[in-house]
Amino acid sequence: MESASSNLEPDRQVKRPAWHGMEVADVEQRLETSLETGLSSREAATRQARFGPNTLREAKPRSSWLILGAQFADVMIIVLLVAAIVAGLLGEPEDTAAILAIVILNAIIGFVQEYRAQRALALLRQLSAHRARVIRDGKVGSIPTMELVPGDIVIIEAGNSIPADLRVGEAIQLRIDEAMLTGESVPVEKHLGPVDSNQHLVLGDRKSMAFKGTTVSYGRGRGIVVATGMGTELGQIAELLEKRVEVKTPLQRRLAQLGRYLAIAALAICAVIFVVGVQRGEPVVRMFLTAVSLAVAAIPEALPAVVTITLALGARKMLRARTLVRRLPAVETLGSVTYVCSDKTGTLTENKMRLTSVYAAGARTASIENHGGEPWNMLYTALALSNDAARDSQGKTTGDPTEVALLEAAAAAGFDKLNLVGRLPRAREFAFDSNRKRMTTVHRFTDGFLLFAKGAPEAILSRCVATLGPEGEQPINAAKIASVADQMASEGLRVLAVAYRKLKQVDSNLTETSAESSLILLGLVGLIDPPRAEAREAVRICQHAGITPVMITRDHPATARAIAGSLGIATPEAQVVNGADLARMTPEELDSHVQRVRVYARVDPAQKVRIVEALQKRGEFVAMTGDGVNDAPALKLADIGVAMGRGGTDVARDAADLVLLDDNFATIVAAVKEGRHIFDNIRKFVKFILASNSAEVWTIFLAPLLGLPVPLLPIHILWTNLVTDGLPGLALAVEPAEANVMTRPPRPPKESLFAHGLWQQMIWVGLMIAGLSLSSQAYAIRVGSEHWQTIVFSVLTLSQMANVMAVRSETESLFRIGLFSNLPLLGAVLVTVGLQMLVIYLPAFQKIFKTAALSATELVFILLLCSLVFFAVEFEKWMVRRGWLYGPMRAL
């Protein structure tokens, strides 16, 4: 017998077996595995080493050397290097050395920025990987899909994404959507039997196979992994499409466009400065170096990289807050959310159901103990058997929370599932779906078959012809029972109806419609899923932030109203729109109601799309949660799709922008807060960097027009750009969130980055710093100071440090937020000031930078002059707080 490894040798020259044409037993034998026990951990590790990870090959990230080399490929850097060579040839070795040193420092900073961004993004991709349920060593466990190997046994259920190419080994009404591979929109029903063994049989006809990347639409089953990674059918397609695609966020694209505009403007200004300087008699080489240096300083080439770092680091911070960001643009758009449409179960509630009320035999009781006789015996048998939850020998129950609660209630009443399954094995099942709103199982017993159905009261009652009581079957009073269900739901209970019927025989012709008819009602059960303790506060924060929370649930309207009232989402008397009402509404009617509705009940997942569309048509920015296969269209359509990490399906996670690792509504609110915080910090960085760069341009540009000599040497310009754009600018990325971040309205999604005074401040602060620099130059020259150039150089550099401390908040004073609330920024400012002092006072640097030691009086004069920038920006914020500038403050 060939080994599993040789059978799946990933060499494309080797003819792969036609797995679809083989019996399941032959596949097991060939891959040396078993559907019951799977591989051993040791064998799985051996195969992992041989076949590698189960991932599609991606373009390799750029190596460190390539990243470093790219820092010297920029046009402006090349021009600067040419300038250094020219300076050396013309007998200016100090200028050559200084320019080269600064180019290298710039390259190091750029390298660190891109390397960190690449690492952060790689980590996010790794964290967003899916997991698969497998059988190894005879036990069911969960592993990352990348660890799957040929021969693994994978358990698949509705909503799962198929993690590798599988030979189907067990199929219970298993249907798989293969549209992404075949283009066929109708899910394909899978079976165990072999099909045509033709190696080239089209994928759509391989009914015994499940292919990587497709999704389970219905049913469940098991599969044997026969191919992984690039050896899968999806991998063969990916091999044809391999291409590196750089995806930039909308903000990055806007900033890149801004950079191009600034570059054009800077080059034009530099050309003017060069021409005017030469005409005034300045040395041609010196003016050339000045113009080139100014162009380098004026262009904010670091902006896109800094934005990537800020977004990636923000995403990692959100991960610590239990939110996985799958798409970086979501981080920058979170601040625009105006509506959060949230599922109730597990998100607003604990998702820990408890059965607390039973209606049977015409009476309601809070006791779950067995009262003896019928309908109690049959009711608790139904709760235990019509149930996919499982209870192990240690008493631990796993599965859907509702089914866990029903199973535990049956066990408490003395009806253990393990014992019942031996006597009443399951023969058929019709899984729950959102259209039927019920689940049905058929069990074999001595006299035929027992059918149990459970689901929404209206879905079960409409199929019942009688009810079971102590005296046997009796006519059903559907109206009375529906009234009891409404009463239970109004108390916040989730209500399920349970029914049964006897069948003489079950064959392949039995359908859902024929099976779920002529049912006999056993009773109603009421379950409570308590609201999360933190959800009410999260709802309050949302409302204060101008965000409207909306609850969407499949529960009864009365249950939905009770839960929404307890959370503060809606008043107890608020209008609740149910799925039937929604179906009858015309688009125009829904448009007119949608902004007033806070609770939707009995809503089909497909109807979420209508809700999203209606809100977006009214100009709202919508975040929508979801966990099921049918939620995927709404998650894709929503401005921010939010999937559940614990209970969600792979399909929902793939469609979402964010994944909540704890399925908690409060985590959504925390993510919105962090999104607003991140965007604020990007704005602060842009405000600071553009004001700084414009100050340098204005200083050089205006000096000749005012009759002053060129105030700075090329080395001064490059140094100022290096120390001010570097550490202080990056430290703004970790500025703490402002106090009002969640008490102001959402930011309109199309609002310009330059709204609320950013462009005005960029201009006036840049002009002010330039004005102070030129004023200090004029004054120093008038009093005959030999240090005038050092004074201008220091004023220009230190004024930018004063500005960066002031722009830490858009509205609050530095004295209010505290000098020590951002220690990295304070440290960066102190380091920059210290470096400037070294340049001024250290003889070795004096020679390179053509500086001279300043007197104590001159240094104090410079510091006082620079402080004017700080106080001017503080005065601007004081006027903004009073609404005298830039209009009312919105989200930034």
Catalytic residues: 343
E-strand stretches of 378-489: 390-391, 397-398, 426-430, 438-445, 448-455, 464-469, 472-475
Measured distance CA(298)–CA(796) in Å, rounded: 14
Retrieve residue 64's tokens. Answer: 């460190």
Q: How many CB atoms lie within 10 A of CB 191?
A: 12
- 326, 611 Cβ separation under 8 angstroms: no
For 328: left if phi > 0, alpha if psi spans -120 to 50, otherwise beta; the answer is alpha
Three-state DSSP class for residue 176: strand
- 347, 659 Cβ separation under 8 angstroms: no
- 548, 745 Cβ separation under 8 angstroms: no
Task: Give the CB-side neighbour count of residue 793, counting CA atoms within 13 A.
Answer: 27
Residue 458, classified by CB atoms within 10 Å of its CB into exposed (0-12), middle (13-18) or buried (19+), is middle
Helix or strand (DSSP H, E) at 773: helix 758-782
Parallel, antiparallel, or unpaired: how do β-strands 576-578 and 599-601 relate? parallel
Among 109, 84, 227, residue whose Cα is nearest residue 163: 227
Among 476, 443, 440, 474, residue whose Cα is nearest residue 459: 440
For 833: left if phi > 0, alpha if psi spans -120 to 50, otherwise beta; the answer is alpha
Measured distance CA(730)–CA(724) in Å, rounded: 10
Among 71, 100, 102, 75, residue whose Cα is nearest residue 87: 100
Residues 6+ apart with CB under 8 A from 616: 622, 637, 639
Helix 856-881 and helix 788-806: axis angle, to 10°?
Answer: 30
**How many angstroms separate the Cα of 141 from the Cα of each of 56, 133, 223?**
23, 6, 15
- 836, 723 Cβ separation under 8 angstroms: yes
- 214, 176 Cβ separation under 8 angstroms: yes
Encode 798-818: b = buried (16+ Cβ within 10 Å), e = exposed: bbbbbbbbbbbbbbbebeebe
- 160, 190 Cβ separation under 8 angstroms: no
